[in-house]
Amino acid sequence: MFFLVAAVVIALDQFTKWLVRSNLGLYEAWPHDGARISILHVVNSGAAFGILQGQTVFLIVTSLLGLGAIVLYYIYPPMEHGIIRLALGMQLGGAIGNLIDRVRLGEVTDFIHVGSFPTFNVADASISTSIAVVLIFFAFHEVETARQSEEPVGAPTAIEPPHDAIGDD
């Protein structure tokens, strides 16, 4: 499932970026009427939210390190829950999708424009969503672990007396 999710994210990310690059000029938007949500063809030579502009080599190296960390976490997981595996697959796919752009083009194609939020792409959405999933999972996991630790282990349970001891002679 991990590699399948990553492959789907990579394919969807690269396909949507190709569609945008093929059909819209740089800084061209669709629809053109200033809609709150639109497809806006922009490029980003930096990281999330436009930080580290022009630092392509640094971003490629850190992306490779991040990919290594994700793969190591997959190989030697401290927790093998399916949701964590799914989220890691989303992170891997998103990281590879943006890495492909950085290596091929020297910048990442972004196109999903929502109001005043920075423009992003499928890879970015996949990474952000997976991080939120992991944080929510661990928040609930910690609550559940804390709740379970409050229950006494091996506490006696109510035992019903044998049927014949009730006195229905």
Positions marked catalytic: 110, 124
Cα distance from N-terminal residue to C-terminal residue, the chain: 63
Strand ranges in 45-143 using DSSP code E only, listed in sequence order = 108-114
* Whether the bond into 31 is cis, omega within 30 of 0: yes
105 Cβ contact partners less than 8 Å away, ≥ 6 residues apart: 43
Cβ distance 62 to 102 under 8 Å?
A: no
Largest CA distance in the chain: 93
Length of the chain: 169
